[in-house]
Amino acid sequence: MSALHILVAVLGLSLLMIVHEGGHYLAARAFKMRVIRFSIGFGPTLARYRPKDSPTTFVVGAIPLLAYVQIAGMNPYEEVDEDDPGLFQHKSWFARLVTIAAGPVANYLFASLVLFAVAASVGKGHFEATTPTTAGMIEPGSPAASAGIEPGDVFLRADGKAIHSFEDLVAATTPKPGQPVAYVIERDGQVLPPITITPRDDAGVGHIGIAAAGSVTYVPVSIADAAKMALVEPYEMTVAQVKGIAGMVRSGNTEGVAGPVKVGAALASAVDHGPLSVLNLLIIISVALGFANLLPIPALDGGRLIFLVYELVTRRRPDAKVEAAVHMVGFVFLIGMLLLVTFRDIRDVFG
């Protein structure tokens, strides 16, 4: 993996985090909340800037991952002037709701705008798989990668059945989650001995982690159709994510969950397929980030929205310190999950 691959992966993930926190920041400022800090990255400070007459200090950290916005009054343990009109807690229910929701909304808006720009400028992509069935992108750390499958390998047989199209390969693989399947491939004109691969279980569906080689043809679309795509496709991606989570809950398997390492590796791999591949993947990741933050989990935006719904229904605010404690528990849980997923991703991607 070259320096360019790593740079694109890091900048891509950082951009989406900046978009997310930028949504919170713009909403907070629109409602005249006092934003103390907007930090991009973490670790030692590389740059710091505070515009004239602005309450916000913009900071760039040495490690360009993650971002966060500190809004005055969100932490009940911080020392504040209770008469400060710029505190989060002193704003209306609607202002607080919009400020919390603005992060995920910003990710959806970013995805829609990029999707619209791509569709309006180059058109709608139509993928045509190569014949015979040839491996294209190999997902880092996937069963196919672990088995030594390489881009350009031609699949001849799978599970004893002849492969005439990528659909045949999918049909032979998806019913076999967690079960060894024998694949016969041709590499550089030579047929190799059968390779046994065990498809991973993604919510009851078997996947080995390859994409078909092929070409994408972009067909021009009208501005109206581009706008429709920008609205419909993020919605369809969200529906697919909901179904994926439901499948994971039913199967009790989290192999389909990807952390920052795997997402970054996918972005790095997309570099080899050109800028449009990188942009299309950023669209998918941005929608996933927006959706994930809306889940009703403490410490996430969705968890904070649950407390706001409680306030609306009961007509009283929850105890600020109780809410903070709940979010802290959620934060610790999420950090633990993130570490587990990251270690698993490192194992899968780097062996």
Most confident option among 47-56, 135-144, 269-278, 334-343: 47-56
On whether residue 148 sits in a domain, the answer given is yes
Mean pLDDT of the chain: 88
C-alpha distances out from residue 264 to 235, 269, 291, 343, Å: 23, 9, 18, 14
In this prediction, residue 257 carries a pLDDT of 67
Pair 146, 212: CB distance under 8 Å: no
Average pLDDT over residues 214-227: 90
**pLDDT for the residue 245:** 78
Confidence tier at 23 by pLDDT (50, 70, 90): very high
Element (H, E) at 278: helix 275-293
Please report whether residue 221 resides in a domain.
no
Cα three-residue angle 153-203-234, rounded to 5 degrees: 85
Give how far the C-alpha of residue 101 lies from the chain's centroid of Cα atoms, to the nearest Å. 17
Q: Is the pLDDT of residue 251 over 70?
A: no
Percentage of the chain beyond pLDDT 90 is: 54
Give the residue ranges of DSSP H helices in 53-123. 93-122
Q: Residue 256 above 70 pLDDT?
A: no
Mean pLDDT across 317-337: 89
* Encoded tokens for 177: 């989650």
Beta bridge partners of 187: 190
Whether 161 and 59 map to the same domain: the answer is no
Residue 254: pLDDT band by 50, 70, 90 thresholds? low
Q: Which residue has the higher pLDDT, 319 or 99?
A: 99
Cβ-contact 106, 20 below 8 angstroms: yes
Instruction: Give pLDDT, residue 261.
Output: 73
pLDDT digits 0-9 by tens, 82-139: 788 899 999 999 999 999 999 999 999 999 999 999 999 999 888 888 889 999 888 8
The mean pLDDT value for 322-344 works out to: 86
Q: How many domains does the chain have?
A: 2
For residue 275, being part of any structural domain is answered with no
Q: What is the mean pLDDT of residues 131-150?
A: 86
The pLDDT of residue 116 is 96
Say how far apart CA 317 and CA 284 lie, in whole Å: 36
Of 216, 251, 268, which residue sits at a domain end? 216
Instruction: Using the 3D structure, point to which of 216, 235, 267 is the last residue of a domain.
Output: 216
Whether 112 and 150 map to the same domain: the answer is no
One domain, residues 50 and 150:
no
CATH of the domain at 181: 2.30.42.10
Q: How far is CA 23 from the centre of its chain?
A: 17
Same-domain check for residues 69 and 136 = no
91 and 141 in one domain?
Answer: no
Instruction: State the pLDDT at residue 253.
Output: 60
Same domain for 9 and 115, yes or no, is yes
Q: What is the residue whose two structure tokens read 């407390």?
A: 307
Pairing of strands 154-158, 161-162: antiparallel
Average pLDDT over residues 160-189: 92
Tell me, yes or no, whether 272 lies in a domain.
Answer: no
Q: What is the arithmetic mean of pLDDT over 175-187?
A: 93
Confirm whether 232 is domain-assigned. Answer: no
Q: What is the pLDDT of residue 350?
A: 65
Inter-CA distances, 221 with 114, 122, 282, Å: 15, 8, 21
306 and 286 both lie in a single domain:
yes
Distances (CA, A) of 69 to 20, 36, 39, 60: 10, 8, 6, 12
Residue 324, in any domain of the structure: yes
Q: How many CA atoms lie within 13 A of 101 on its CB side?
A: 11
pLDDT band for 252, please (50, 70, 90 cuts): low
| Triad 295, 298, 302: Cα angle to 5° | 35
For 233-256, what is the mean pLDDT? 78
Mean pLDDT calculated for residue range 258-283: 80
Token pair listed for 93? 């229910």
The answer to whether residues 97 and 171 belong to one domain is no
- What number of CA atoms fall less than 13 Å from residue 197's CA on the CB side? 31
Which residue, of 163, 186, 216, is where some domain finishes?
216
Q: Are residues 155 and 93 in the same domain?
A: no
Residue 293 covered by a domain: yes
**Residue 42 sits in the same domain as residue 114:** yes
Specify burial of residue 51 (Cβ count, 10 A radius: 0-12, 13-18, 19+): exposed
The confidence score (pLDDT) of residue 84 equals 85
Domain span at 154? 128-216
Q: Are residues 174 and 84 in the same domain?
A: no
Same domain? 106 vs 134: no
* pLDDT of amino acid 339: 82
- Answer whether residue 189 is part of any domain: yes
